[in-house]
A and B are shown apart, each in its own frame.
Chain A
C-alpha cells in the first residue's frame, strides 16, 4: 500500500525582495514594503510530503528520524536565523518564498533517499503559502 507522509518544520529568517534587473521605482512598485533596504523577517513553515510503499516490517513509509535528521542537517541548519539575501543561492535570484520553496525542494530531492519526494510547501505567514512539486508538475 502506498501512503503519503507529511511533516512540518519551522525556521526563521530575514530577506529583502529586490531585483537588480529593475530600477528603484520598479522595485518599489513591485515589492512594496518587502523592498525595505534593511530587510524584514518571517517564521517560515516547511511542509515536506514524501511517499512510498508502507514497509510491512515497520509500518512506515520511511523512518521519521531519517526525515527529521535530513531536514535538520540540510535545510534548517542552513536557513534558520539567516539573512537569505547573503546566501549563495540568492546571489542572483530574489529570495521570494517561491524561489526558497524551489531551493528546498531541490535540496531534499537531491539528497533524501529514504522515500520519494512528492512536494514541498512553504508557508511565509499564516496567510501565504507556496508549493513546488518539481518542474513540469
Chain B
C-alpha cells in the first residue's frame, strides 16, 4: 500500500523506499537471529520494551519495580502518573539552582527530568508534543532578566518554558484542548508569526503549518489532498487578530480580526481560530494523522490500516482523548510484535537519558546539552517547524561519533570527587549480581541493556574482549575494584554494548 502521507517517513523523503524495504525485511530478521530467542517472548522483555518506548529506559531496580506488575499493570502505572510522586526529581532540580533563562541550563533541566523522573510517560509525551507542535528558541528567543532589576521585580515571560509546561500539563488531554491552547501559546504565536496576522493582509504561516504538520498532513491515507491552498488562505483569515498584548500574553485584537465569511473544507461561515480547530477535528484525516504520529513515535513506521484502526477508533469515541489513544497503543498486540522490536532509532536524548538510567548515573548533566546537540538534538530548538526528522536521519558520521564519545566520557569517569558526575559503580554491580566470570559479566549486561538478544558471534566478541590481555585474576583470588579487568575491561565492555546497533535502537 502506498501511503503518501507526510509523516516522519515522507519527511525523510528519499528514505521512503529504503525504510520501507527495511521494514519488510524485519520479520525475517527477527526469525534469523542465529539461535537468539525471538523478540519479546516473555513478560520481562515486554515490560522492558514498554519502558523503552513509553519512557527513557530503566535501571535494573526500575525494571524490577515494573516487571512483577505484568504488561497491563506496567501500563497502568505509567499512565496513572499523577499518583506517583516525583518529589525526588523536583528536589534535585531545586538543589541545582539552574538558571532557566540560560539556554544550556534550560536543556539540562529537561534532560535531568528525562533521566530522573518517576513519571517517564509524562516526559516522553511532552517530548512528543515538542516534536509535533513545534516552537523553538532560535526564533522565539529567551528574554533575559534585567541585570540591575530589584530582587523582587517580576521576571520576564519565559515563552518557551511556559510552552513546555503547557505541553506537560496537557500531555494526555484531548487534542482539541491542546490545539486551542497551543494556538494561544505566546511561544507559538511568535514562532509562526500569528502576532502580526492582520485583517486584509493575512500571514499564512500558522494556518499552513497547523494543517500540514500539526493536525492533518498534506495528504490523506488514500493520497488525496487534505486541504487546498485556498483553505490555507481562508484559515489564515480566521486567525487574524490572534496575537499578544503589551504584557506578552495572548490577546484577541478585534480590530485586526477579519469578520467576513470564510470557506474552509467546503463549509462557509464567519469562522475564528477556534472554529478552524473545530473543523479540523471533524476532518477525517485528523484522527488518522494523530494516530499515525503517535504510533510512529512509540512503535514503528508505516503501521497497517488494520493496526492503526483501534487507535483511530479511540480518538473518535473519546473526542480525541490522547490518554485513551495511548492505552490502545500500549496494549496493542502489534506493539509487542516483532515488527516493533528495535524498530525505533533512539533520539539523542533517549539515548543519553537511557544510558544514564541503565548505569544509575548520578549526574547534574553539566554539558550533556552540548553532547545531545552534537548528536543532532537541541531541546527547545528543533531544526524547523517539522521537528526532528528522526529515524535513520539520527545517524551520520558526526552524530554517531558523539554517541560513542559521550559513552566513553560516562564509563571512564573515575574521579570520586567529581562534583558533576559521580563514577559509575561497576564493581558494585559485579558484586551485587555475583558476576565472577567473563561470561557471566557479558550475559548480565547484555540482558540489562539489550535484552540479551544478540548473535553468538557478538557475545563471543565481548567475552574475548574481556579475556584479552590475561588480566583475569587466578582461580580463588577475589576481584578488586582496582583490578585492570574491572577498571579497564568491564568499563570497555559496557561501552561496547551501549555502542552496539542494538542499544541505539528501541
The reply to whether chain A is a binding partner of chain B is no
